Structure 1
Amino acid sequence: MDETPQEITTLVGREVYSNNGVFVGEIEDLRLDLDAEVVNGLALGQLNGDLFTDHATGNKGVIIPYRWVRAVGDIVLVNDIVERMKGTDEESELAI
């Protein structure tokens, strides 16, 4: 197994899917906490219109919390975004 650290820029351009296999969007940028030196959000573009129809996203995209990420590989898997979008407590965490 390759233990070489990857640059965070390698995440840009990767597709994001829910753990149920639903396409969510594509990573366009990252939100960083420079003091803690961690990624704390993924800025997504090219969104799945079916998931974001209730939100007036326009061309802006969304930022999802990095803690929703379940796995990173050739694609990025996140917790079931459909359920998150419908939940009232989590909805405020999406930056549109």
Structure 2
Amino acid sequence: MDERPQEITSLVGREVYTKNGVFVGEVEDLKLNLDVRSVTGLAVGSLNTELFEHEARQGQGVVVPYRWVRAVGDVILVADVVERVRDPDDEEEIVA
């Protein structure tokens, strides 16, 4: 049995924090590139209203690029850049 799909689905429901310990949100879904069978982003909901006031107020989520992920364990740690960088013109994805 291939363990890879189980690992990928196990990311759903995990809390996401920055390396500084700031809560970002909770993984609701994954953005995948099926051609190369890789995760390209984390669809995060239940957002920290201090970081994402507009999105949280409207019930939206954000997609954090997977390249920002620094560690995966009981929680997911992402680069601190998520605290500082936000593209207000892109409501769907945080862009560096």
TM-score, normalization: structure 1?
Answer: 0.80
Equivalents in 1 of 2:24, 2:65: separation in Å?
13
Answering whether residue 2 of structure 2 is matched by residue 7 of structure 1, we say: no
Query: Which aligned runs of 4 or more in structure 1 are off by greater than 4 angstroms?
Result: none
The answer to whether the 8 Å contact 2:25/2:45 transfers is yes
Specify the code of the residue in structure 2 equivalent to 1:82.
E
* Percent identity for Structure 1 against Structure 2: 56
TM-score, normalization: structure 2?
Answer: 0.80
Cα 1:8–1:56, aligned 2, differ >3 Å: closer, same or farther?
closer
Instruction: Count the aligned residue pairs.
Output: 87
1:84 Cα offset (Å): 2.2
Secondary structure at the aligned position of 2:10 is classed as helix
The RMSD of aligned alpha carbons is 1.9
Equivalents in 1 of 2:59, 2:7: separation in Å?
27
Secondary structure at the aligned position of 2:50 is classed as coil
State the partner residue of 2:92.
Answer: 95
Cα 1:94–1:20, aligned 2, differ >3 Å: closer, same or farther?
farther
Equivalents in 1 of 2:51, 2:40: separation in Å?
22
Instruction: Please list, as runs of the form range in 1=range in 2, the aligned pairs for 1:1-96 lying within 5 A after superposition.
Output: 6-53=6-53, 55-57=54-56, 58-80=58-80, 81-85=82-86, 91=87, 95=92
Deviation per CA, 1:1-43: give whole Å up to 9, x if none: xxx7552000000000000000000000000000010000000
1:83 Cα offset (Å): 1.6
Equivalents in 2 of 1:78, 1:93: separation in Å?
20
